[in-house]
């Protein structure tokens, strides 16, 4: 299991503790990435609560590729990385556009949503167990992951922006020549 609440919400120790207790209850390993929001004593408190590993930052896409599920604030970076790696999501939206992202996760059938404020460790454990036991969540990720891969990622997004700004022709010619010479 991987848990991250993003850079702006990474200091939510009480929520991370409930997640850690839920993972301990379910007998699953947990990596928490708090994005610099916790100090060493708080990291140790998470380990005592049930987290196997606690760090400020982790290579998210690589971690998600190995995780069976992710507990997230439903920030778009984590959601998109989870889709790309076909990792079911337990969304616990906190602020900003996260409630909308969580609603989309549930609507697409690629995860579940719980309140970060009111969900108990037992409720979190139950949701995690459901994500782990029901292969339909990961199966519904497949077409979304395929669409995401076909969309072209960051490079394609940069191309679209450059095209819209009228910067693309000269910039692309040099970039394409550089890529061709690498082969």
Q: What is the mean pLDDT of residues 13-29?
A: 98
> Do residues 112 and 177 both lie within one domain?
no
Beta strand pairing call for 70-72 and 2-4: parallel
> Do residues 34 and 123 both lie within one domain?
yes
> Do residues 90 and 160 both lie within one domain?
no
> Do residues 144 and 160 both lie within one domain?
no
> Do residues 127 and 42 both lie within one domain?
yes
> Do residues 66 and 35 both lie within one domain?
yes
> For the whole model, what pTM was predicted?
0.86
Distances (CA, A) of 177 to 71, 153, 170, 172, 181: 42, 20, 11, 8, 6
For residue 183, pLDDT beyond 60: no
> Do residues 26 and 40 both lie within one domain?
yes
> Do residues 45 and 62 both lie within one domain?
yes
Cβ proximity of 83 and 148 under 8 Å: yes
Nearest by Cα to 6 from 63, 45, 57 = 57
DSSP secondary structure of 75-133: -HHHHHHHHHHT--EEE---STTHHHHHHHHHHHTSEEE--TTT--HHHHHHHHHHHHH
* pLDDT value at residue 152: 87
Helices (H) and strands (E) in the chain, counts: 10, 6
> Do residues 102 and 61 both lie within one domain?
yes
Can you give the CATH number for the domain in which 128 is found? 3.40.50.2000
User: What is the rounded distance in angstroms from the CA atom of residue 121 to the CA atom of residue 25?
Assistant: 8
> Do residues 100 and 174 both lie within one domain?
no
> Do residues 90 and 158 both lie within one domain?
no
> Do residues 99 and 128 both lie within one domain?
yes
Q: How many domains, in total, are found in the chain?
A: 2
- Per the structure, the complete domain to which residue 170 belongs is given by 153-182
For residue 103, pLDDT beyond 60: yes
**Residue 56 three-state SS:** coil
Beta strand pairing call for 89-91 and 70-72: parallel
User: What is the rounded distance in angstroms from the CA atom of residue 132 to the CA atom of residue 154?
Assistant: 30
pLDDT tens string 139-168: 999 999 999 899 987 788 888 899 999 985
Nearest by Cα to 3 from 48, 46, 45 = 46
* pLDDT value at residue 170: 52
């Amino acid at each position: 299991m991987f848990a991250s609440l993003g850079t702006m919400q990474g200091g939510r120790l009480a929520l991370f503790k409930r997640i850690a207790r839920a993972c301990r209850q379910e007998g699953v390993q947990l990596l928490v990435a708090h994005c610099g929001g916790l100090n060493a004593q708080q990291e140790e408190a998470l380990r005592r609560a049930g987290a196997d590993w606690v760090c400020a930052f982790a290579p998210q896409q690589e971690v998600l590729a190995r995780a069976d599920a992710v507990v997230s604030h439903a920030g778009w970076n984590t959601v998109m990385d989870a889709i790309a790696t076909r990792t079911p999501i337990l969304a616990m939206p906190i602020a900003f556009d996260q409630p909308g992202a969580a609603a989309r996760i549930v609507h697409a059938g690629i995860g579940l949503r719980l309140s970060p404020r009111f969900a108990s460790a037992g409720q979190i454990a139950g949701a995690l167990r459901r994500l782990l036991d029901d292969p339909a969540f990961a199966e519904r990720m497949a077409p979304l992951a395929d669409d995401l891969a076909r969309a072209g990622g960051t490079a394609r997004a940069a191309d679209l922006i450059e095209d819209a700004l009228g910067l693309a022709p000269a910039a692309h010619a040099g970039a394409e020549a550089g890529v061709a010479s690498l082969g």
